[in-house]
Amino acid sequence: MPDERIASVAMTRVTQQASAEDTDVLAVEEPLEIRVAWEAGGEAREKNIAVTMRSPGDDADLACGFLFTEALIRSHEEIDSIRHWGSPNIIRVSLHRGTKLDVSKLDRHFYTTSSCGVCGKTSIDATRVANARILPAGRLAGGEVIHRLPSVLQEQQTAFRATGGIHGAAIFDYDGNLLRAREDIGRHNAVDKVIGSLFREGATPLSEKILMVSSRASFELVQKAIVAGIPVLASVGAPSSLAVDLARELNLTLLGFVRDGRFNIYAGQIA
């Protein structure tokens, strides 16, 4: 079955000696419009709340992960249905009657590129999600487990191996067992997809879990992990200073440069 996340593209390959017509395999990037339908005061309402540039596939996971990590919904039980709506690039999430929706949060006018998960926010205050609260103290993850995670994530990154241009995110338990993995051209989308897939099964909050990402650890990834209740975020790349500040403030263990048998601890502790 063809992988909708990748596409073959004609191009010219140039070396110092010659040039030749050839083809290459690239990551597909397409917009996804996320709509929410709900009822308020006995009246049916619907709103387009976000457009994100993503890799096609796992769109329901992406939509649910986005709504959850932006604190627009709290439980999978609030969702009545999820389906594409007249186009493979539009997905509609219908909420059960009686679901309380903070309409003010729908006025942020989200537009996110594949490189930025907060680009559509209309103010600095809006970059902070309201229910990103301090994580409870608990059992520490082990360093031996952390060292094993990059290779397991890499094994799951089939689209990355084909294109070299797509991010991966995976969630593990504290024993290092892989629970779920997703890929996307946007690192924040990959995280929303992997969190959303478990959210849809009612598995959140994801206590005593580790989120491993193939990218750098940015502020929005730290925030998404915290909202999902994930106590450890491990990244192959570097964290940003704001990511470290938020992790320290809200008790997230933040690890960077997790590769080649080493890692740095920027916040929290490891057993």
Q: What is the CATH number of domain 143-267?
A: 3.40.140.10
Q: Is 116 an annotated catalytic residue?
A: yes
Q: How far is CA 37 from CA 34, 86, 95, 251, in A?
A: 10, 15, 6, 35
The reported pLDDT for the residue numbered 134 is 85
- Residue of higher predicted confidence among 142 and 41: 142
The reported pLDDT for the residue numbered 2 is 83
Q: How confident is the model at residue 40 (pLDDT cuts 50, 70, 90)?
A: confident
> Measured in whole angstroms, how far is the alpha carbon of residue 175 from the centre of its chain?
22
Mean pLDDT of the chain: 90
Lowest mean pLDDT of 51-55, 109-113, 128-132, 235-239, name the range: 109-113
Q: How confident is the model at residue 229 (pLDDT cuts 50, 70, 90)?
A: very high
**Beta pairing, strands 232-235 & 209-213:** parallel
Q: What is the CATH number of domain 33-127?
A: 3.10.20.10
What whole-number distance in Å separates Cα of residue 173 and Cα of residue 187? Answer: 21
pLDDT in tens, 62-121: 999 999 998 899 999 999 999 999 999 999 999 998 888 776 666 655 555 545 554 544
Report domain extents, the chain: 33-127, 143-267
Q: Which of 25, 37, 71, 116 is labelled catalytic?
A: 116
Spell 91-118 as b/e; 16+ CB within 10 A means b. Answer: bbbbbeeebebeeeebebebebbbebbb
Q: How confident is the model at residue 123 (pLDDT cuts 50, 70, 90)?
A: very low
